Amino acid sequence: MGGEHEEIKRRIEALRREIEKHDYRYYVLDAPTITDAQYDRLMAELQQLEREYPHLITPDSPTQRVGGKPREGFVTVRHAVPMLSLANAFSEEDLREFDRRVKSALGGEPYDYVVELKIDGLAVSLTYRNGIFVRGATRGDGENGEDITANLKTIRSIPLRLNQPVDLLEVRGEVYMPKKSFVELNARREERGEPAFANPRNAAAGSLRQLDPAVTAGRNLTIFVYGTGEMEFAHREAPASHSEVLKFLEGLGLRVNTHYQVCRNIDEAISYCRIWQNRKAELPYAIDGMVIKVNSLAQQALLGTTMKSPRWAVAFKFPPEQAETTVRDIIVSVGRTGVITPTAILEPVFLAGSTVSRATLHNEDIIRDKDIRIGDRVIVHKAGDVIPEVVEVLKEKRTGAEKIFTMPRACPACGAEVVRQTNEAAHRCTGAACPAQLLEGLIHFASRGAMDIAGLGPAVVKQLVDSGLVRDVSDLYRLTAEQVKGLERFADKSAENLINAIAESKSNPLHRLIFALGIRHVGERAARILAEHFGDIRRIMDAGYEELVAIPEIGPKIAESVIAFMHEPQNRALIERLVKNGVNVVAEKTTAAAQNGKLAGKTFVLTGTLASLKRDEAKKLIESRGGKVSSSVSKKTDYVVAGDSPGSKYDKAVQLGVAIIDEREFLDLIGE
């Protein structure tokens, strides 16, 4: 057994090294050598071996990047070497004055500079002991920061183990969000009615300070390292200059920005600053200036620091690029989830490398706060060099002909009522048949948790919409096999299978239909509660606010959403069309067998993959015997059924002492 165990250890270690190598090539060098599928296979093998041999898991394993439950808060940590802020220079004359101070303090010694891009992100420190990443922290006030180790481990461009062992190394770097990711994140937030981030720096900071590392992991952050703090070397010579530090860090497998230059004097440094001031729009990330540092570390030590900043470095801040233009109009668009977003149509103006003719205004509150009117002269800039934004209104230039904008009461795409719920900034279309929301609505309607129509995935839905065969969900139930055969990759048998699957969904339980309709805030649990309470969708259509909030687990937000949805004529007509097409709208009566079943009163949570049952099948078995299935583990949970690759629910069950059973034990329990 010992030999086999050693072989497993060697295989696990080899997989880790292989995955680390590919992480470095992908996230640091941007030069991958294997496909995503090949990478996934390596990771899957490592995860499987670590599940079978959990005592071999180490903190620096690639599988440990995202893990643990959300924290209640951040712990304060003290920086061994203070993370000082930089003094700012706003003009070339300011830079020459900085150079005069350096020259005077060095007393005629020759010196040179390193000039780097100033990344617009969040400064962090990374501590490695014996080459292993052990702690990460924010800059904070320079003396003390917050421990964000768990969040920083989710950033794949940060190695969990260095290429070479170093006794102790603290690295300073800037975590940032690429421009493309920033735009995509804001688009998702606006679709959900959440406030957009003002710039990539705020997005990076907000992402790093999430109490749940899984949220940080989904934000596509990355890092450039630019310096060191505390260092201990037993068997190596320390770098003598800042440019050598950058090469040393790069050699350890850390991500260093290659856009830096050693400059012999301040004139060369200023020239390099001018180059990037004109080229910054080309970069895939935001910069807000340049950093100029004396290159020699010995000279840096001689120059020393003030209480706040080093005397050997300065940040040259680019002047903000702004332009004056006119708001020609304010229009609204309907997003895929029904959010109504106002946009300013501008007199075209050249700004930060491109012509700007539109600027998103996000929501009505921002328009009111800035008092933006149609016809106003305004100042615009690009937030993070990416998103055009109205900075301020030049009210002194108003003529009196400007028009106040009001949000529409009816959706411009379908005419349904537009509502704004309590404590939300977004206005939303309530139309279930809104063409702007059609694609996403159909995908949700057919999904597994909803009507569960086999074969009706996103690609097929898109074909049905593009071909004009489906204009709302009720059209699905009028489709014929002949019509489906006209779609790409559909033959007689596959077309027949899809039509049969759609027909079978007509008999689904009422709670599935309620969830499938996509009523805001109504998830699977709320849909089931509504179905059980009312028993008929027509009763829900006529329910009042007081009746709804009186139902346990149905709060004001859900009640408001249900009323807004059910009172919209377009939605009522859609439900009537579904009824006409034979879709079930009545709840099954709870059978005596279920009420008195062997699982009556028991709450189950399912996690991982079961070998012989789909998740929905296990759920039906539990409910048919009187049990209840919950999506989260609590002290009230009776059993957690764990299959392969269980997630955080398994850990929570262990923590709370909840009974954990495998698939065989579950089947024995229910008598299968």
- For the annotated catalytic residues, the residue numbers are 118
Query: Could you give the C-alpha distances from 207 to 110, 154, 160, 387, in angstroms and in order?
Result: 43, 11, 20, 19
Q: How far apart are alpha carbons 21 and 29 in whole angstroms?
A: 11
Residue 424 near residue 501, CB atoms below 8 Å: no
Percentage helix, strand, coil for the chain under 3-state DSSP, each rounded to 5? 40, 20, 40
| Residue 60, amino acid | D
Q: Are 139 and 123 in contact (CB under 8 A)?
A: yes
User: Which of the 8 DSSP states describes residue 240?
Assistant: S
Residue 271 tokens, joined: 């020239």
Number of helices (H), then strands (E), belonging to the chain: the values are: 25, 24
Residue 175 Cα to chain centre, angstroms: 15
Report the alpha-carbon distance of residue 158 to residue 458 in Å, rounded.
35
CB atoms within 10 A of CB 187: 15
Rounded to an integer, what distance in angstroms lies between the CA atom of residue 211 and that of residue 213?
A: 6
**Which residue is it, tokens 């390193």?**
114
Q: 């962090």: which residue's tokens?
A: 124
Could you tell me if 64 and 160 are in contact, meaning their C-beta atoms sit under 8 angstroms apart?
A: yes
Residue 259's SS3 state is coil
Q: Which two tokens stand for residue 184?
A: 């995509």
Whole-number Å distance between alpha carbons of 410 and 429:
8
